[in-house]
Structure 1
């Protein structure tokens, strides 16, 4: 389970979310109306693009930001193909999961807020294309724009920078997931711990869908494997080897209880 804070529309967070919301309609533009995927939010499974833009833009307007400062943020939830297979690729389950992710998001600020205090919208997409940043394109084994193989379902989220207004013109709490304010001891003080958020989302998926996550599927393992610190890399490799050995280990055969009882009776004579 990957949680990615990069945006598909670069440098557009300082104004209206119209461009981003329009970009997220790209799959719908190829489908008849009855097959199109709507945006959703905490309260509804069907929200129009117009409602998304109005909700995000209205909540960010006149909040005292300087020109160019972010009015909203976007991130994606990227389940693995194994995780998607576990839930049967069910869109309803993905919507339910996203709503809990947004509870994790709110709680991670440490300011006593909940998802209902936020203004957010999400959209499920079902395909991805190779870009120039993909290794396969750089190595010449895939072409830019070519569809990626397998189940590529993922969820885009747009969330206002500010807590939801209760009245017109009110200035509300600013909530940025891209800023970590750390105390001298290294702990997150008044900020957003993205590592904690990603790991909370992993735990949520596992608990919500009874998913048995292997060590090699965890964010902590992936982080250690990419670490420049050699002991971390070696520890991650050792964990992966141990997990594979345990997985391949033959299970002890269960002896037939009736045969055991017969043998016991025979020996007791």
Structure 2
């Protein structure tokens, strides 16, 4: 399970409205009839249209400055293994999202309990994901992409001057490079923006920064960690416990759907990789044989090759360990192994 929390982007062309983001999320609905479109949902309702989402999020911004984020975005991206386990069932995924938002509310650190009834949010299911520059397949295809681009520039230059150079020879080189690129899908070189095969369902959630009463700020931003502050002479709790939220998200999925999570899929493993990679590797090697085999398969699919080292030799050379960490880190960032 890969979950990302990001704040509203505030650039030079700042717009306080959520409209641009909602328009982006409508991309899969383009060209479809109303019956075939995927609409928004929240904790209690289904089939909410985009106009209502924009109106309610934009109206819920009391006392926020021009440069304050008005909403946050959550992306819930189950791995293909998790999606296969639930049959890529959209209703199950929506049900999980609603349970997840209960955990989201409970992760706020406040003097009073925050529940999902305090949260103003709208969620939307999407069925497609595309390759980005962060994906291993794109990165490993990049040397071929660079050569292909250079050859195409040469071909265009030759076409401007009739009779200059052998265009057919360069075109043949392009075809060879296209064919020899290591990562292909349906006979075509994988490039950024290409739709991914297989189960790709995920959910985007737009969460207002203000609660449903438009009176209290509820920010999950990384800088708003659990702490206490003095406000009007009183000590008050503030912040959002991301660790608690991510652990609850994982536990909720596993318990509700009976999912048996491998070590390398866990939030605990990701934390270990960041803070103590040597311990991560030691635990990986110490897994029972069957679990270790699954872990290796998951990492191999993500493009990470784990050195075959006897379990009693966990003092891996520092350089090799850092290479392993970088490889797994990139796989995690792209959601390939779903942590």
Q: Same fold (TM over 0.5)?
A: yes
1:172, 1:234 → 2: CA distance? 47
Q: What secondary structure does 1:27 align onto?
A: helix
Which of 157, 164, 173 is the equivalent residue of 2:216? 173
Which residue does the alignment assign to 2:284? Answer: 237
Aligned residues of 2:17 and 2:54 also touching (Cα < 8 A)? yes
Are the counterparts in 2 of residues 39 and 49 from structure 1 also a CA contact under 8 Å?
A: yes
> Structure 2: any 5+ residue segments left out of the alignment?
142-182, 184-189, 229-236, 296-339
User: How many residues get paired?
Assistant: 235
Distance 1:14 1:202, change over 3 A: farther
Residue in structure 1 matched with residue 253 of structure 2 by the alignment: 205
Please tell me whether the aligned partners of residues 224 and 236 of structure 1 are also in contact (alpha carbons under 8 angstroms): no
List runs of 5+ in structure 1 lacking aligned partners. 166-170, 249-269
Residue 155 of structure 1 corresponds to: 203
**Per chain length, whose mean CA-contact separation is higher, i.e. which structure has more relative contact order (CA < 8 Å, sep 6+)?**
2
Residue pairs, 1:65-80, within 5 angstroms: 65-80=64-79
Q: CA 1:108–1:228 in 2, change beyond 3 Å: closer, same or farther?
A: closer
1-side partners of 2:98 and 2:218: how far apart?
18
Offset of residue 241 of structure 1: 6.2
Shift in CA distance, 64/10, structure 1 to aligned 2, threshold 3 Å: closer
Q: Report the secondary structure of 1:146's partner residue.
A: coil
Deviations 1:204-247 (A, max 9, x none): 1111112222222211113323x263433323433556553587
Tell me, yes or no, if structure 1 residue 47 matches structure 2 residue 91.
no
Residues 157-211 of structure 1: per-residue CA shift (max 9 Å, x gap): 000001112xxxxx51101101333559xxxx62112121111001111111122
| Rounded Cα–Cα distance in structure 2 between residues aligned with 1:245 and 1:143 | 32
The structure in which a higher percent of residues are helix is: 2
2:212 paired with 1:164: yes
Residue 116 (str. 1) matches residue 160 (str. 2): no
Q: Per-residue CA shift, 1:81-111, capped at 9, x if unaligned?
A: 1111111111111111111111111110033
